[in-house]
């Protein structure tokens, strides 16, 4: 497998379409390790089945189909199926052997790998308001407090400041931890980290049409379409 992975030439590079929407910016294609880093972050939304398969579940199939294409680019098979007849939940399963729930993100070497990991984590465990009229926030949640602490350090290294890691309610869930990206770093987060999740891309696209004060260029239409185009 070559060191760099390309999307179709007509669509441009995966990075250009999904990560950096600028019409004039040209970056190198994503490497295999960057895509693997994205999955290592995104797997926090997953489980490990009794038949030795990694499972990621979602309402709807858009993000799962995008992940399936990415797995294909890495040379791995994956399957998507509906979980239950009366539910709108779908599951992607894969045997990809590089996935590891115990992976320590502090082992990541390059800036690009760290960004890929954080992007995957955000797409799986991050939250932003769906209502474009609501006060904007970026939150990251995790049941593993230590993992969130490592993420905080990685974000700081990228110039992104976050608030205190806290538990919203010990009574409701003593193992649920959350932190917010500080308002002064939200622009930097969107510019440097971004998203490959179709719903988040659409939400951010709508949000930044109404937040000119951020000074962020709107996501191009291709940025939203990349989840279908690979």
pLDDT at 102 over 90: no
Measure the CA–CA gap between 196 and 213, rounded to whole angstroms. Answer: 24
pLDDT at 9 over 50: no
Summarised one tens digit per residue, pLDDT across range 22-66 is: 332 334 567 889 999 999 999 876 677 666 688 888 888 899 999
pLDDT at 225 over 50: no
Q: What is the mean pLDDT of residues 108-125?
A: 93
Q: Which residue has the higher pLDDT, 172 or 2?
A: 172
Q: Which residue has the higher pLDDT, 160 or 53?
A: 160
Beta strands in the chain (DSSP E): 46-48, 54-59, 78-82, 89-94, 126-127, 139-142, 177-180
β pairing state of 78-82 and 89-94: antiparallel
Summarised one tens digit per residue, pLDDT across range 162-210 is: 999 999 887 888 888 999 999 999 989 998 998 999 888 888 887 776 5
Q: Please name the residues in contact with 51: beta carbons below 8 A apart, sequence gap of 6 or more.
A: none
Architecture of the CATH domain 9-229 = Roll (3.10)
Q: What is each CA distance from 24 to 16, 30, 62, 122, 143, in whole angstroms?
A: 10, 18, 28, 26, 40
pTM: 0.80
pLDDT value of residue 58: 85
pLDDT value of residue 29: 63
pLDDT band at 7; cut points 50, 70, 90: very low
Structure tokens at 43: 């797997």
Measure the CA–CA gap between 155 and 44, rounded to whole angstroms. Answer: 17
pLDDT value of residue 23: 33
Say if CB 218 and CB 207 are below 8 A apart.
no
């Amino acid at each position: 497998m070559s060191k760099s992975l390309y999307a179709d030439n007509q669509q441009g590079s995966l990075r250009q379409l999904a990560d950096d929407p600028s019409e004039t910016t040209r970056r190198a294609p994503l490497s295999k390790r960057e895509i693997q880093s994205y999955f290592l972050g995104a797997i926090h939304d997953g489980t490990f089945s009794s038949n030795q398969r990694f499972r990621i579940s979602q309402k709807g199939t858009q993000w799962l189909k995008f992940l399936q294409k990415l797995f294909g680019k890495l040379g791995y098979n994956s399957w998507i199926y509906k979980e239950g007849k009366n539910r709108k939940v779908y599951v992607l399963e894969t045997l990809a052997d590089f996935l590891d729930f115990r992976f320590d993100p502090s082992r990541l070497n390059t800036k690009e790998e760290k960004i890929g990991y954080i992007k995957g984590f955000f797409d799986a465990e991050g939250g932003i308001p769906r209502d474009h009229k609501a006060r904007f926030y970026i939150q990251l949640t995790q049941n593993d407090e230590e993992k969130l602490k490592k993420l905080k350090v990685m974000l700081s290294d990228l110039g992104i400041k976050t608030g205190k890691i806290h538990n919203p309610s010990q009574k409701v869930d003593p193992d649920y931890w959350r932190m917010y990206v500080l308002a002064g770093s939200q622009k930097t987060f969107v510019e440097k980290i971004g998203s490959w999740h179709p719903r988040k891309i659409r939400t951010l696209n709508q949000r930044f049409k109404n937040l000119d004060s951020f000074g962020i260029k709107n996501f191009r239409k291709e940025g939203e379409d990349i989840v279908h185009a690979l």
